[in-house]
Amino acid sequence: MAGTGVRENGKQRRLIMEKSQVLFWEKGYAETSMKDIANECGFRPANIYNFFASKEEILFSILKEEMEEIVNPIRFLEYEENDPLQQLRFLIEIHVKITLGEKRASKLLFDTELRNLSAERRKVILDLRDDYNRIGYAILKRGIHKGLFKAMDEKIALNLIASMIVRTRLWFSPEDWMTIEDLIEFIFQFALKGLSR
Q: Which residues bind a copy of itself (CB under 8 A)?
A: 26-28, 30-31, 108, 111-113, 115-116, 152-153, 156-157, 159-160, 163-164, 166-168, 170-172, 178, 183, 186-187, 189-191, 193-196
Residue 157 binding partner per list a copy of itself, DNA, none, with a CB distance cut-off of 5 to 8 Å that depends on partner kind? a copy of itself
Going from the C-alpha of 32 to that of each of 11, 123, 197, the distances in angstroms are 21, 23, 47
Distance (Å, rounded) from C-alpha 187 to C-alpha 89?
9
**62: part of which helix (H) or strand (E)?**
helix 55-71
Query: Binding residues for DNA, per CB under 7 A?
Result: 12, 31-36, 43-47, 49-51, 53-56
Residue 51 binding partner per list a copy of itself, DNA, none, with a CB distance cut-off of 5 to 8 Å that depends on partner kind? DNA
Distance (Å, rounded) from C-alpha 96 to C-alpha 115?
24
The letter for the amino acid at 38 is A
Residue 125 or 135 with smaller CB distance to DNA: 125
Residue 43 binding partner per list DNA, a copy of itself, none, with a CB distance cut-off of 5 to 8 Å that depends on partner kind? DNA
Residue 32 or 168 with smaller CB distance to DNA: 32
Residue 148 binding partner per list DNA, a copy of itself, none, with a CB distance cut-off of 5 to 8 Å that depends on partner kind? none
Distance (Å, rounded) from C-alpha 187 to C-alpha 192?
8
Other beta carbons within 10 Å of 173 = 8
CB distance 135 to 78 below 8 Å: yes
Please tell me whether residue 175 adopts helix, strand or coil conformation. strand
Residue 6 or 170 with smaller CB distance to DNA: 6
In angstroms, give the least distance from the CB of 160 to a copy of itself.
5
Residue 55 binding partner per list a copy of itself, DNA, none, with a CB distance cut-off of 5 to 8 Å that depends on partner kind? DNA
